[in-house]
Amino acid sequence: MKISFLLHNAYGIGGTIRSTFNVAGALAAHHTVEIVSLIRTIETPNLPLHPAVRLRPLIDLRPHEDPPRAGRRAADLGHPLLTRPSAHIPAAEARGTTNFNALTDERVAEYLGRTDADVVIATRPGLVIYLAALGRAGRFLRIGQEHRLHGTHRAEIRAACDAAIPHLDAYTSVSEADAATHRAHLPGVTTRLTALPNGVPATGIEPSDGRAKLVVAAGRLIPVKRYDLLVAAWETVAAKHPDWRLRIYGRGPQLPALRRQIDELGLAGQITLMGAHSPIETEWAKGAIAAVTSREESFGMTIVEAMHCGVPVVATDCPHGPGEIITDGRDGLLVPVGDADGIAKGLLTLIEDDELRRSMGAAARIAAERYAPERVAASYERLIEELHTARSTAAPAHRRRTAAPLRGRPAGAPLAGTLKDAVKQLIRKPLRPVASCRVTAEGDLSVLVEPEGLHGGQLGLTVTRRKSDEPPIHVPLLPPAGAAPSAPWTATLDRATLDLDEGRWDLHVVRPSDGVRRRVGCRFAEGRGLLDLEPLPGSPFTWWIPYSTVDGYLALRAWRRPAHAEARVIRLDAEGLAVEGTLHGARFGPDATPTAVATPSKGPARPFLTGVTALDGGRFRFTVPYERIREARDGEEGSAGWTLTLHKSARGGTPIRIGRIVGDIVDRDKTDLFPITHGVRPHLTRTNDLAIISVATGN
Burial of 83 (0-12, 13-18, 19+ CB in 10 A): exposed
Which domains are present in the chain?
A: 2-195 (3.40.50.11930), 214-369 (3.40.50.2000), 434-561 (2.60.40.10), 564-695 (2.60.40)
How many angstroms separate the CA atoms of 310 and 356, rounded?
13
Q: What is the pLDDT of residue 262?
A: 97
- Segment 290-305 shows an average pLDDT of 93
Q: In terms of pLDDT, which residue wins out, 320 or 283? A: 283
Q: What is the pLDDT of residue 456?
A: 76
Residues 6+ apart with CB under 8 A from 157: 90, 92, 93, 125
Residues 6+ apart with CB under 8 A from 46: 11, 12, 13, 278
* Contact call for residues 315 and 326 (beta carbons, < 8 A): yes
Which one, of 26, 380, 7, lies nearest residue 195 by Cα? 380
In sequence order, what are the beta bridge partners of 659? 566, 689
Q: What is the pLDDT of residue 613?
A: 96
Element (H, E) at 69: none
How many angstroms separate the CA atoms of 23 and 36, rounded?
14
The DSSP result for 520-580, as a single string, is: PEEEEEE-GGGSS--PPSSSSEEEEEEEE-TTSBEEEEEEEES-EEEEEEEEE-SSEEEEE
Q: What is the pLDDT of residue 476?
A: 95
Residues 6+ apart with CB under 8 A from 299: 15, 147, 174, 175, 197, 198, 320, 321, 325
Q: What is the pLDDT of residue 481?
A: 82
For residue 411, pLDDT beyond 60 = no
How many angstroms separate the CA atoms of 254 and 271, rounded?
15
For residue 84, pLDDT beyond 50 = yes
How many angstroms separate the CA atoms of 247 and 250, rounded?
10
Which one, of 467, 659, 666, 473, lies nearest residue 556 by Cα? 666
Confidence of residue 72 (pLDDT cuts 50, 70, 90): low
Q: Give long-range contacts, CB 8 A cutoff, 24+ apart: 494-499.
A: 494/444, 495/442, 495/443, 495/444, 495/445, 495/536, 495/542, 495/544, 496/442, 496/444, 496/536, 498/473, 499/560
- Segment 193-209 shows an average pLDDT of 94
The neighbour count for residue 213, using CB atoms within 10 Å, is: 15
- Segment 140-150 shows an average pLDDT of 94
Confidence of residue 563 (pLDDT cuts 50, 70, 90): very high
The chain-wide mean pLDDT, for the chain, equals 91
How many angstroms separate the CA atoms of 370 and 373, rounded?
9
Side chain identity at 437, as an amino acid letter?
C
Q: What is the pLDDT of residue 70?
A: 57
How many angstroms separate the CA atoms of 652 and 645, rounded?
11
- Segment 299-322 shows an average pLDDT of 94
- Segment 240-255 shows an average pLDDT of 97
DSSP state of 80: G
- Segment 342-359 shows an average pLDDT of 98
DSSP state of 337: T
For residue 671, pLDDT beyond 60 = yes
Side chain identity at 665, as an amino acid letter?
I
* Percent of the chain residues topping a pLDDT of 90: 80
pLDDT tens digits, one per residue of 475-518: 999 999 876 778 999 999 999 999 999 999 999 999 988 888 99
Is the peptide bond prior to 320 cis by the omega test (within 30 degrees of 0)? yes
Residues 6+ apart with CB under 8 A from 488: 435, 436, 448, 449, 450, 451, 480
| Secondary-structure breakdown of the chain: helix, strand, coil percentages, each rounded to the nearest 5 | 30, 30, 45
Taking the alpha carbons at both ends of the chain, their separation in whole angstroms is 75
For residue 582, pLDDT beyond 80 = yes
Alpha helices in 35-101 (DSSP H): 91-94
Q: What is the pLDDT of residue 603?
A: 84
pLDDT tens digits, one per residue of 179-192: 999 999 999 999 99
Element (H, E) at 134: helix 125-134
Side chain identity at 694, as an amino acid letter?
S
Q: What is the pLDDT of residue 524?
A: 96
Which one, of 26, 255, 23, 19, lies nearest residue 148 by Cα? 19
- Segment 220-249 shows an average pLDDT of 97
- Tell me the CB-side half-sphere exposure of residue 457, using CA atoms within 13 A: 2
Q: What is the pLDDT of residue 455?
A: 82
Strands (E), 243-307: 245-249, 271-275, 289-292
Q: What is the pLDDT of residue 67?
A: 60
What pTM does this model have? 0.86
- Segment 594-613 shows an average pLDDT of 92
- Tell me the CB-side half-sphere exposure of residue 391, using CA atoms within 13 A: 25
* Contact call for residues 337 and 295 (beta carbons, < 8 A): yes
Which one, of 343, 231, 225, lies nearest residue 294 by Cα? 225
For residue 111, pLDDT beyond 50 = yes
For residue 660, pLDDT beyond 70 = yes
Hey, is 189 helix, strand or coil? coil
Beta strands 690-695; 680-684: pairing state: antiparallel
- Segment 563-590 shows an average pLDDT of 95
Q: What is the pLDDT of residue 430?
A: 81
Element (H, E) at 25: helix 15-27
Element (H, E) at 389: helix 373-394
Confidence of residue 422 (pLDDT cuts 50, 70, 90): very low
